[in-house]
């Protein structure tokens, strides 16, 4: 039989965390009956309150204690509330428990974030400042080299310009780098030409100066390059006469590299003729000698050029396969007693050019015959005796003789050896024989 002095236990209800026990409203006591026998008190109704709901007036659950300053506790399984009981027929309330010290809606903000942002910002500002200083410094270096470049002081300009220009070009190069690189190229070209002249390569130096002017016609270095070339030619014209330079002679004159033609050009033409002869370019040699003879016949070098011209004609005749020139007819007495006399008649419609190279050197021309014609092979039986006549008096002796067309027409030259004696006159005539009409 049950013990009536102890009432049955009430249904279990949620108990707040042990930090502070929850207050319960005591159940009202029934008045004691008048009967002597004690009555069993009515069972106490459970005092259920949904979690996180406002407490009934007069009682409430104590809040959890605040966290220690500077430390945020992490939730643990022991801190999570146990499952809650709901009376039958009522829905289970959703859990509204939040770890102590953590705001609803996300993790707490980290205290070090602002400091880190300041550090990153300071680093960015420092980098930007350094980049700006570097750009300013490069600009100052460029301006130093640029000023020297404008003054044609390339020895002083190349250092700063090379420092700014760098070694490799790319699409990211700045405008300053591109300008420095362009000016550096011009200065290096000028310095290279200067170096050639200093070591004795005068012809190559002149051509290098000319190339700079041709490539950079608006460069402030043009005047310096032109003056450098002029000085080399004026100082020693014969030292600049290479085949390459002589080929460019017309252009060098047009570009005023020959500052004083009357002083420099005669020696240069003579030297060019010799340079061509050395390369066995006899036609070019004859052109150089021929121009000298036409423009500077009274120059001190005229006799030397005449000898060279005759020599070049003989060599050109040999190279070109000249025909054999027979000796003139038997000399007849007359003329100057101690000298030999040559009488030539030109019965050809072209100018007749003759070279006598022996004790004397003579280069002569006989005018064309306006009434004469070219004859079909084998030619006329005797000299037509229609054309102009020329007479030359020379020292007696053995001569190499060349006869060729003086008009540049395609006529085979003739070469032979003549022995001329003093006190005799030697007659000869020339006409052109062709194998086609």
Q: Which residue bears the tokens 């008009």?
A: 407
Average pLDDT score over residue span 48-60: 44
pLDDT tens figures, 117-128 = 555 454 444 444
Rg (CA), the chain: 60
**pTM of model > 0.85:** no
pLDDT(48) > 50: no
So what's the pLDDT on residue 225?
A: 97
Name the β-bridge partners of 418: 399
So what's the pLDDT on residue 153?
A: 96
| 8 A C-beta contact, residue 329 and residue 418 | no
pLDDT tens figures, 172-208 = 578 899 999 999 999 999 999 999 999 999 999 999 9
Tokens of 20: 């502070």
Kindly report the backbone phi and psi dihedral angles of residue 373, in degrees, each rounded to the nearest multiple of 5, phi listed first: -135, 170
pLDDT(140) > 60: yes
Angstrom distance (rounded) from CA 70 to CA 111: 10
Name the β-bridge partners of 376: 434
Average pLDDT score over residue span 249-275: 96
Handedness of CA 245, 248, 253, 256 (dihedral sign): negative
pLDDT tens figures, 410-421 = 788 899 999 999
pLDDT(15) > 80: no
pLDDT(47) > 80: no
Pairing of strands 424-430, 332-333: antiparallel
The number of angstroms, rounded, from the C-alpha of 215 to the middle of its chain's C-alpha atoms is 12
| 37/358: higher pLDDT | 358
Average pLDDT score over residue span 341-369: 93
So what's the pLDDT on residue 126?
A: 43
| 371/208: higher pLDDT | 208
Tokens of 410: 């395609």
pLDDT tens figures, 272-286 = 999 999 999 999 999
pLDDT(291) > 50: yes
Average pLDDT score over residue span 196-224: 96
pLDDT(115) > 80: no
| 421/57: higher pLDDT | 421
So what's the pLDDT on residue 320?
A: 79
pLDDT(55) > 70: no
Please write down the HEC assignment for all residues of the chain: CCCCCCCCCCCCCCCCCCCCCCCCCCCCCCCCCCCCCCCCCCCCCCCCCCCCCCCCCCCCCCCCCCCCCCCCCCCCCCCCCCCCCCCCCCCCCCCCCCCCCCCCCCCCCCCCHHHHHHHHHHHHHHHHHHHHHHHHHHHHHHHHHHHHHHCCCHHHHHHHHHHHHCCCCCCCCCHHHHHHHHHHHHHHHHHHHHHHHHCCCHHHHHHHHHHHHHHCCCCCCHHHHHHHHHHHHHHCHHHHCCHHHHHCHHHHHHCCCCCCHHHHHHHHHHHHHHHHHHCCCHHHHHHHHHHHHHHCCCCCCHHHHHHHHHHHHHHHHHHCCCEECCCCCCCEECCCCCCEEEEEEECCCCCEEEEEECCCEEEEEECCCCCCCCEECCCCCCCCCCCCEEEEEECCEEEEEEEEECCCCCCCCEEEEEEECCCEEEEEEECCEECCC
Worst-scoring range by mean pLDDT, 8-22, 126-140, 142-156, 401-415?
8-22
Question: Across the chain, what does the average pLDDT equal?
Answer: 78
CATH of domain 323-434: 2.60.40.1120
* Band of residue 49 on the pLDDT scale cut at 50, 70, 90: very low
Query: How do the domains of the chain map onto residue ranges?
Result: 323-434
pLDDT(322) > 90: no
Angstrom distance (rounded) from CA 139 to CA 145: 10
pLDDT(35) > 60: no
pLDDT tens figures, 67-112 = 454 444 454 444 445 555 445 455 555 444 445 555 555 555 555 5
So what's the pLDDT on residue 62?
A: 46
Question: What percentage of the chain exceeds 90 in pLDDT?
Answer: 53
């Amino acid at each position: 039989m049950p013990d009536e002095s102890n009432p049955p236990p009430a249904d279990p209800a949620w108990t707040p965390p042990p930090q502070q026990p929850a207050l319960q409203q005591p159940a009202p006591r029934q008045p004691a009956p008048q009967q002597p026998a004690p009555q069993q008190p009515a069972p106490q109704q459970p005092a259920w309150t949904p979690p996180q709901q406002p407490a009934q007036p007069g009682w409430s659950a104590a809040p959890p204690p605040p966290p220690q300053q500077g430390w945020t506790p992490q939730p643990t399984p022991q801190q999570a509330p146990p499952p809650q009981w709901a009376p039958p027929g009522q829905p289970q309330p959703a859990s509204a428990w939040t770890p102590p010290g953590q705001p609803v809606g996300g993790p707490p903000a980290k205290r070090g974030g602002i400091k880190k942002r300041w550090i990153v910002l300071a680093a960015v500002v420092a980098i930007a400042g350094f980049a700006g200083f570097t750009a300013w410094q490069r600009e100052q270096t460029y301006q130093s080299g640029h000023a020297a470049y404008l003054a044609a002081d390339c020895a002083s300009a190349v250092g700063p310009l090379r420092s700014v220009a760098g070694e490799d070009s790319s699409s990211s190069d700045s405008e300053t780098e591109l300008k420095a690189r362009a000016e550096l190229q011009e200065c290096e070209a000028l310095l290279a030409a200067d170096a050639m002249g200093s070591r004795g390569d005068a012809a190559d130096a002149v051509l290098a100066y000319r190339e700079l002017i041709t490539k950079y016609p608006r460069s402030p270095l043009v005047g310096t390059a032109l003056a450098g070339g002029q000085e080399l030619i004026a100082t020693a014209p014969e030292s600049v006469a290479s085949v390459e330079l002589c080929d460019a002679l017309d252009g060098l004159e047009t570009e005023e590299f020959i500052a004083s033609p009357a002083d420099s050009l005669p020696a240069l033409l003579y030297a060019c003729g010799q340079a061509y002869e050395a390369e066995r370019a006899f036609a070019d040699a004859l052109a150089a000698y021929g121009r000298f003879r036409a423009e500077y016949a009274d120059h001190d070098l005229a006799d030397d050029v005449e000898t060279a011209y005759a020599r070049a004609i003989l060599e050109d005749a040999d190279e070109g396969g000249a025909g054999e020139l027979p000796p003139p007819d038997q000399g007849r007495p007359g003329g100057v007693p101690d000298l030999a006399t040559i009488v030539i008649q030109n019965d050809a419609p072209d100018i007749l050019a003759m070279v006598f190279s022996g004790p004397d050197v003579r280069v002569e021309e006989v005018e064309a015959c306006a009434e004469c014609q070219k004859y079909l092979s084998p030619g006329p039986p005797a000299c037509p005796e229609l054309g102009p006549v020329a007479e030359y008096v020379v020292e007696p002796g053995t001569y190499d003789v060349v006869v060729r067309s003086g008009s540049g027409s395609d006529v085979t030259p003739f070469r032979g050896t003549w022995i001329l004696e003093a006190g005799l006159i030697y007659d000869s005539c020339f006409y052109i024989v062709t194998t086609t009409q």
